[in-house]
Structure 1
Amino acid sequence: RLNKVKAIVDEAYKITHANGKILTAAVFPYPEMADHMVRQRWDKWNIDAVLPMIYNVFYNEEIDWIGYATQQGVNDLKGKNTELHTGIYVPGMTPEQLQEAIHQSISNGAKGVSFFDGPAITEEQWQVIRASQNPQ
């Protein structure tokens, strides 16, 4: 399965680049965990950017785990031309937790952050997201 998934992604990479596009994927939290859970070793793929779904609440983890998982992915991608944008599951987070999740992501090497379950994001959470785009 690992080799089949890699072959499909590598072929998709060729097709997207031949058409002037980039290839991205939402993936499981970090390569080792993804390998054990769903047999995907995404640090070996030819891909432009990954958006690992680092949903701490899905794994009964605290906010600091977002930083840990981000750093694991960033370390596994060293030497590759692949960006990592941490995926944060926003529902249920307080504005303070969301702010900390963004901080954990960026301070541990993420190029950016993606937010999952947009329709459930509150106005207070949107304010935190907007403020994170222009840090003081």
Structure 2
Amino acid sequence: AAAAMARVAAALALGLALAQAVDRSKFRTCQQTGFCRRLRDPATNPNPSGAHAIQGDSVRTGKGSMSAHFVDGRLQLQVDDYAPGVARIRISDPQDPRWEPGNILEAPAEREKAQAARAADGSYELDL
């Protein structure tokens, strides 16, 4: 038991040492990305807190997908359901489009039938 504990402690120590070895200068912060700056700037976003709600009348569902617009009118949500437990969620700003990669899956994946249902309290539940 003591040997097992020693191995676990050594593995944790090694993991912590590797985590500290990351070069943080190679990662961008929110202030370095235009998308994040625009959405957190009170002058350009009426809801800079980061809490977003979806416009109920904008929800659209199709074969394996759901789309909606956020209440602030700026962002669009797209959820694509591919297989049990696999979904692609994208939030985009149509006013300031950016480059998007094509389908990143090796072969076109078969879409599953996603179901969106509106609850009595006005919220939505997406069944993937």
Normalised TM-score (structure 2): 0.22
Higher helix proportion (structure 1 or 2): 1
Higher strand proportion (structure 1 or 2): 2
The structure that has the greater radius of gyration is 2
